[in-house]
Amino acid sequence: MIIAKFPQHARLLHLRLFDRFEAGRRSSASGGSTAKTYALVAGAVVLWASWPALATMVRPAPPLLVLGASALIGFLLSFLLTVRQGKSRAFVSVPFKTLIFVAVGLMGNNAFYLAAIARIGAAEANVVHYLWPVFLVLLASLLHRRSPSLFQTLGIACGFVGVAIALSPLMGGNLDIAGVVLGACGALTFAAYSVGRSLAKAETNVVGPSLGLSGVGALGAHFMLEPVYWPATTEWFAIVLMGIGPFTIANVLWDNATRTGSAATISSLAFLTPLIAMGLLAAFGLGNVTTATVVGALFAITGALLSSGSK
């Protein structure tokens, strides 16, 4: 669940994680859960969960090249969808400061994640990246100068225990500390980005327009920092799928789901993303999915649920 449409996603998925620290409670989306809502959320979650598998398929393509190309594809598709909906004016009128913030958040989060996958493996990086909910709790606590509650503290502990379990098979000497740090940096970046977007008041689609700036920035960084590389056909296929699926269609499905279902139902289903990502990695033989990584993912999800469910 690395790319999300904000602010709708921030207010729903992080409603219980962040908004509890605000003076006033915001009401959740109205409406009961329907079969359509479940189908929309399931589609968005599966597409987000496909990211680790697709990121594995593009190796050894450099991370910044992958991010830049897929972001530009997502930007183009987002723009075409917006034009079809007759909302092109809103698409091009996003404030520049917002574009910069979102672009840096998206590029930093995903660049760290891709780099971590290359060093510690997709399944392990998936668990490390899912520290973002507990980092979100810590950041919100610091921002509002409040100590985490008992349940939040237990959730934070579960998150780190999950990472330790997932990485335990590598601790005999094969653990790449730099890869773990990169994964944690991605999680922290996404948490900070989520806090910032949760505070935003704009209701327009800011992810789509920001993908263009993010893509240009990532490609520029690629040419400055990475060896120039031309992806193979299969790598291009995965890059295109990234831009179409996790970057764009997932956000469209999620946006439609937020308009028809309840916040509690939608948020709970979104927490299944890391387990579905594990399943896709195993199904396609793209990652070293072990008992340790599955158990670690379960602990990480438990930590997120404990943190978000506390009173």
The more confident residue out of 243 and 172 is 243
Whether residue 28 is contained in a domain is answered as: no
pLDDT higher than 90, residue 184: yes
Whether residue 3 is contained in a domain is answered as: no
Q: Count the domains in the chain.
A: 1
The more confident residue out of 58 and 251 is 58
Whether residue 29 is contained in a domain is answered as: no
Task: Give per-residue pLDDT as tens, 38-51.
Answer: 788 788 888 888 98
Task: Output the pLDDT for position 24.
Answer: 38
pLDDT higher than 80, residue 182: yes
Whether residue 26 is contained in a domain is answered as: no
CA distances from 213 to 67, 68, 207, 289, 301 (A): 12, 9, 10, 35, 32
Name the average pLDDT for the chain: 79
Task: Give per-residue pLDDT as tens, 255-270.
Answer: 666 666 555 556 667 7
Whether residue 1 is contained in a domain is answered as: no
Cβ atoms of 44 and 294 within 8 Å: the answer is no
CA distances from 15 to 22, 74, 110, 157, 237 (A): 10, 27, 23, 21, 36
Cβ atoms of 272 and 101 within 8 Å: the answer is no
Whether residue 294 is contained in a domain is answered as: yes
Whether residue 99 is contained in a domain is answered as: yes
When pLDDT is averaged across residues 19-24 and rounded to a whole number, the result is 43
Whether residue 2 is contained in a domain is answered as: no
pLDDT higher than 50, residue 7: no
pLDDT higher than 50, residue 92: yes
Residue pointed to by tokens 């989520």 = 194
Task: Output the pLDDT for position 185.
Answer: 93
The more confident residue out of 291 and 263 is 291
Range(s) of the domain holding residue 200: 8-21+34-309
Q: Kindly give, in sequence order, each residue whose CB lies less than 8 Å from that of residue 34, ignoring residues fewer than 6 positions away.
A: 260, 261
Q: Give the Cα separation of 263 and 236 in Å (integer).
A: 36
Task: Output the pLDDT for position 26.
Answer: 41
pLDDT higher than 80, residue 19: no
